[in-house]
Homo-oligomer: A and B are copies of this chain.
Amino acid sequence: MSDMKEIKLTYFNIMGLGETLRFMLSYMGKEFEDFRIPTFPEWVNNYKKKMPFGKLPLLEIDGKPYHQTMALCRWLGKKCGLAGDNDDEALEIDMLIESFSDFRSTVWVYFYNSDEENKKKIRPRIIESMTPFYLEKFDNIIKENKFLANGKLSWADIYIVAVLGYFSFMVEMDICEKYENIRDLRDRVHALPGIKEWVEKRPQTHW
């Protein structure tokens, strides 16, 4: 880890998916430049074409570009002991996070749907049916095992807690108000050294 000197995160001025990397880096005690592209037109005109697959966040470490939050959080997790102690534990983390990702990407497509007619049509399936289905599963897993995988803290807990604010906004409910075990996990992750300080000092944004 001592070889990571200059770390720069490029993202929008929101928590969103970029917050997962801000949480991981803060947990690891790593200083990073938290660069936020001010406006959407600036993103489209000046940055989008330079990104590996046209997307953010981008993480630059000593000038080298990296992308994809799950890939990066897994990689950072390995560096700080949060990626499982063996291949089977790593698998349990990955199964959980991939299920979350299935859920997230469906909600995402709903949320960014600009066809209001269609959005109204698919709302019952996504917001009223799929959302509680997944959230109850996660809530139960935490209730039984205290954490999302292997009964101990992993990068999956940090990842999912980091996007909870964003996610609550997308699924149109305060997830932590309704699911007490998810709320409890959030409070425990927010109290972790590094993350506690980050949550206190981070720019206040809506999602």
Contacts and interface: CB of A to CB of B under 8 A. Distances in A.
Interface of A: 52-55, 66-68, 70-72, 74-75, 78-79, 87-88, 90-91, 94-95, 97-99, 101-102, 105-106, 109, 115, 117-118, 121-122, 133-134, 137
A88 B78 CA distance: 11
A95 B79 contact: no
Nearest to A121: B115
6 contacts: A75-B90, A101-B101, A105-B106, A115-B118, A117-B117, A118-B121
Helix, strand, loop or mixed for chain A's interface?
A: helix
Nearest to A110: B109
A87 B79 CA distance: 9
Q: Which residue of A54, A79, A88 has the most chain B CB atoms within 10 A of its CB atom?
A: A54
B99 A75 contact: no
Given A79-B87, A134-B53, A68 B98 contact: yes
A-B pairs with lowest CB-CB distance, top 8: A71-B94, A118-B118, A68-B98, A75-B91, A105-B105, A68-B95, A71-B95, A53-B99
